Structure 1
Amino acid sequence: MRSDVDSVRHLPACGYRRLRWRNGLGWTREIHAAGSEGPGGDGWDWRLSIAEIEADAAYSAFPGTDREQVLLSGDGLVLDFGHGDLRPLLPPHGRQRFGGEVPVTARLQLGRAEVFNLMWRPARAAPRLWHRPLVGSMLLFAEPGDCWAVHVMAGQAMLDGGRAAPLLERGDSVLLDASHARSRYMLEGSGELLLVQVAAGSGAGAGVAQ
């Protein structure tokens, strides 16, 4: 089992950068931006963040990107695309995928909600996202050029017996890369995870084993 320090990047929740939405109507906590020109810049190939939605608000437009969102907490919301096109993100972990250039307004069901936000430029990155329980152990296989992002939604997880990264707690994330050879990583613990596999360009092979 490979656990090279250079191929693992621990991203604790306390280190996420809190930024204003592009349109100024809300806040987001940026987990990671790959290829970014700088924190909060728009030169990224793909990006992970957590949107804080405290009132009904229009989302910022991101032409040339695709988006996928997963409800993390709260009573849910509805994405209003106009003309009667309403798409819910309801508890426990509803999800939706849509184009970043499409006008959409988030309408809260009751109170505040938090949403995991995956954004990417299709010409540069091809991500896939899974919501998985963690009960015992799970293997992730990274092909050369791939990147995995693991976000702990609930519970705790250890990577490679704790040798490759500190204990991951609720809200933490970790990035796993394979440079020149296929790499295998073991996650152990109990809870719920969001797994994002990113390949360059188009296509990403399945690589989750339980």
Structure 2
Amino acid sequence: MKLIRFADLTPKPWKNGGGTTTEIAVSPEGAGFDDFDWRLSVAEVASDGPFSLFPGIDRTLTVIEGEGLVMTVEGRGMVTLTAASTPLSFPGDVPVSASLAEGPIRDFNVMTRRGRFGHQVTRHDLAAGRLALPQGDLRLVVALGAGSIRHDRTTIEFAFGDVVIFETNDAGSIEGALPALLVTLTRKAL
């Protein structure tokens, strides 16, 4: 189990230069935009515009703060995401543009290299009950509020945006009293 404090991370420019992103974790460690297997980040979106293209990448975007984002994904049409919406998955190699519904938003982004890793992102309110950790190479819990979670005999205090990474041998369930995202990353057989 590994804890990443969002407040300790540094924002970087987007691939297309149109905003900033805060990388939470990447594999392999130190990988750039063109050679990662998977990448987790939070973006600050303050203006309308196109998304960066990521050939060979599958993405899932979740609005975590703000009034919403209206996305146009080639081949799918228009989708509105809010801080209560189901995360939206789409290929990183198709054109996507977005406009703000009403003011800036913050989003959580998961990207995996197609053929190497797959991923799933789901929203949970841990106050509603225990959450069993699913099977996967890595399972990550992203805090969407401040509070604590418990895993086995360990209690972890979270601030908004903090992430705990559970590896394959970390079994069991978690409980707490805050909203969270569960990200499951699974290595694909080569």
TM class by shorter-chain length?
0.7 to 0.9
AA at the equivalent of 2:111: M
AA at the equivalent of 1:26: G
- Determine the structure 2 residue equivalent to 1:160: 151
Unaligned runs of at least 5 residues, structure 2: none
Give RMSD over aligned pairs. 2.3
How much does 1:93 deviate? 3.3
TM-score by length of 2: 0.88
Distance 1:134 1:43 in 2: 34
Alignment of 1:47-196 (within 5 A): 47-81=39-73, 85-135=77-127, 138-141=130-133, 143=135, 146-160=137-151, 163=154, 166-179=156-169, 183-196=170-183
Q: Deviations over 1:91-133 (max 9, x none)?
A: 4335311110111111011100011111111211111111111
Tell whether the 8 Å contact from 1:61 to 1:101 is kept in structure 2 after alignment: yes
Give the SS at the match of 1:55. Answer: coil
**Which of these residues, 3, 26, 51, is aligned with residue 10 of structure 1?**
3
Distance 1:129 1:196 in 2: 5
Identity of aligned residues (%): 29
Tell whether the 8 Å contact from 1:26 to 1:57 is kept in structure 2 after alignment: no
Distance 2:131 2:96 in 1: 37
How much does 1:184 deviate? 1.8
Structure 1 segments of 4+ aligned residues over 6 angstroms from their partners: none
Q: CA 1:41/1:162 → structure 2, altered by over 3 Å: closer, same or farther?
A: farther
Tell whether the 8 Å contact from 1:66 to 1:100 is kept in structure 2 after alignment: yes
Q: Deviations over 1:30-70 (max 9, x none)?
A: 1111214x165532111111111000121111000011111
TM-score by length of 1: 0.80
How much does 1:157 deviate? 2.4
**Which of these residues, 11, 14, 18, is aligned with residue 21 of structure 1?**
14
Unaligned runs of at least 5 residues, structure 1: 1-7, 203-210
Over alpha carbons, which structure has the higher Rg? 1
Q: Deviations over 1:125-162 (max 9, x none)?
A: 1111111110275243465x611111011242223366
Give the SS at the match of 1:25. Answer: coil
Q: CA 1:184/1:55 → structure 2, altered by over 3 Å: closer, same or farther?
A: same
AA at the equivalent of 2:159: E
Distance 1:85 1:192 in 2: 29
Q: Deviations over 1:185-208 (max 9, x none)?
A: 442320111001111116xxxxxx
